[in-house]
Chains A and B, each alone.
Chain A
């Protein structure tokens, strides 16, 4: 998926709750690429433009599972704390 696609997807899926400053996405992507979490190659988009496509690597998938469970634990914890309030 290309950078623009990712940005749009995040917006749509989160029902426009997460509207990130689109620019900040790119340094983040490049950081992930340097760390070997994602991988990239140039391809052609649906409207025939050259675009850079990103894909999770094997390492990235593992990392995702780990971070996701971390996140849900954290989210649950926060939720529980908030319930008390």
Chain B
């Protein structure tokens, strides 16, 4: 191969050498015989000889390829219109495919920085009530851990965001993970600096320590190696930095730091369990073994572990959009459809050209070109086209991703989300470019190579190559395009209908001009709830004295961002299933919350100052709550009683009913029954501060931060954003899919209509003589129009019918993202039918107009 390249570089030299060698031979011979022509005669056919040598050097094959490519460029640039349409169609198809592939690849390939991540599994042990009992009980966990053989080790972790402060800069909110000491061994990564946890760090009386991620070390401390041994305040508890992990290690996902999971403490939430599969053990085998052990442990300590169900799942499943994989597959299919339509389109254009080119091809065959050679040449032409399409498509994809990234810039980005064009994407791009070239080029090339030479030359290229078979093929292609287009349109239509429902459903608050932010007051610094209350009171006074702020309030949850759960007894509602009290959703809000959100009570009143007196018995419910528990009754004055830790609390009285505010972040349409508790009754350490402003809310961010930090300089303010921004982001989950499908469908519709137009227009130009003849013998314009439309619309109707049937079966895969719209929504199907018929009519109308204008005299005389 190396030699070959060397020869290739020196091929002119080689040619000259051969020339010289032959000249020497001739001269010698001429001297010997004294007759130059005799010498030449004896040498034989010099050209054939040179050819033989060059073929041996293997240039001929290469040169003929090069000639094919040059020839392709020449023909394509001679047909600029055709080339531009074909390249544009391919670029659209390849571009959206590349962009979507790069998105999907990103969404599915997050690297959490774990050694051989595919061997790490998450373990859950749930009892029949769906609660994780195993990890909650320390002795059980130890017992369990010591018996498991199929896992190298079993570790536990729990996510706990923390406040981080030291004297090196502003306090920050970081993602902290409490992890058992063996966790790092399971991850399989060693610290690059210092050490990680030892079992001694797990004891409750041990010195508190912390291990940093590389990112935190770099961003906050500029890779200062003297960080080891420094004392930092984590939630106001001093901790010693003992180690820094290598770049990229961020288990479980977006972690900034790790602290030991100290045994015996009281925690909120159960830790997750994870472990590494022992060598050669499969997931199923490990699951079996652990199930057996869990049962055994359960028999030993029946109080804590009743009938656990052990489940193991690969840790990789929790990253990125893994859970949305079916949906991503749907998107990939949709975008694949677009590419297929583009291919069909270009194939059709090539078929149309084939009719025109049959004469050229016939001549080439007649003077000795082999059919294989002709097919190769035509395929090279397709490859050049698809290469051009790939190039432009790549630029389109880059632009699209850039645009997507830019429009997402104002929303917080998950760690896995890093759109970039890496080698994998390039390989994909190259593969689909070459693949499409063959896909759309092969049929027309085969068709052309079969041309009947003598006929084609005799007929002067009219209608020979295409013939019946060519036309049938291009009709089939149009039907195919329309079918795919219909499926995409139906998908897009359903998504748009969902989006209209979602965006059209009011949240229930006035989100404009509301600034939101979060603070959490750590227990180490604010041990008593009174301290918390007093801090919030002072902060409220300070914030409300800022110019531009109208009112400020606290809430446990923001609209569309979830709710808390309370167990309570409801007056007049007997406990339902086996003594279990109803669990209802609720929020804890301070007295001006409804004023900030501009919500007026439907009945009764909202909280007033006197409700702030500790232990006030007033509670507010929403419309749905009143309707669910006291239908047709007056809810005012009814009673509720919260139950916590099995102990009933004091009786609460309903003082007001407010209209539904949307809290559920998954289901955008249903309203849960909710209660609103006074902040004075249930003070919260972690709260949102919401403020109605008279100026654009984001202009006040720094002022707010200053006010918080003037009260407590170590308290980070985080998640500072306008409420409008949050609601927009919330809508994005459906918005993105709607936008994608709409773009795909729009491209598909465009390509399909252009394809239809192309075929009809071509057939009109081929039938010019026939049309002229019909007119000459008395055909009216109406007959001609019918002729053209009849030919074009037949494909559209067939495609529509097949497409609608296919869509009927296919759209169920969209069910996960559809909101309150049936996958077989008749309105959408109808709309698609109308849109497609319109597009079809348009595609036929232009050629029909041209057909009507055919002058019989000119038409019959031409050629």
Contact = CB atoms under 8 A, between A and B. Distances in A.
Interface of A: 2-4, 7-8, 21-24, 26-27, 30-31, 34, 42, 45, 47, 49-52
B6 to A, nearest CB: 12
Interface stretch (B46-54, B159-167, B455-463, B585-593): B46-54
Given A21-B44, A47-B31, A52-B20, 11 more contacts: A3-B21, A3-B24, A4-B24, A4-B25, A4-B28, A23-B48, A24-B44, A26-B18, A45-B24, A49-B24, A49-B28
Contacts of A26: 18, 21-22, 25, 49, 53
A52 B44 contact: no
Nearest to B49: A23
B45 A23 contact: yes
A35 to B, nearest CB: 10
Interface in B15-42: 17-18, 20-22, 24-25, 27-29, 31-32, 42
Interface in B315-360: none
Nearest to B58: A34
A22 B28 CA distance: 12
A3 B22 CA distance: 9
B24 A2 contact: yes
A22 B25 contact: yes
Contacts of B369: none
B180 to A, nearest CB: 67
30 contacts: A2-B21, A2-B24, A3-B25, A4-B24, A4-B25, A7-B25, A21-B42, A22-B25, A22-B42, A22-B44, A23-B46, A23-B48, A23-B49, A24-B49, A26-B18, A26-B49, A27-B53, A27-B56, A30-B57, A34-B57, A45-B24, A45-B28, A49-B24, A49-B28, A50-B24, A51-B21, A51-B24, A52-B17, A52-B20, A52-B21
**Chain B contact patch, size range:** 20 to 34
Nearest to A27: B52
Contact of B56 (A7, A8, A34, A47): A34
Interface string B440-482: 0000000000000000000000000000000000000000000
Nearest to A21: B44
A50 B49 contact: no
A21 B45 CA distance: 10
Closest 5 CB pairs between A and B?
A23-B44, A27-B52, A4-B28, A23-B43, A23-B49
A42 B21 CA distance: 10
Which of A34, A42, A45: most chain B CB closer than 10 A?
A34
A56 B140 CA distance: 84
Contacts of A51: 21, 24
A31 B22 contact: no
Contacts of A30: 18, 53, 56-57
A23 B39 CA distance: 10
A26 B518 CA distance: 88
Interface in B43-83: 43-46, 48-49, 52-53, 56-57
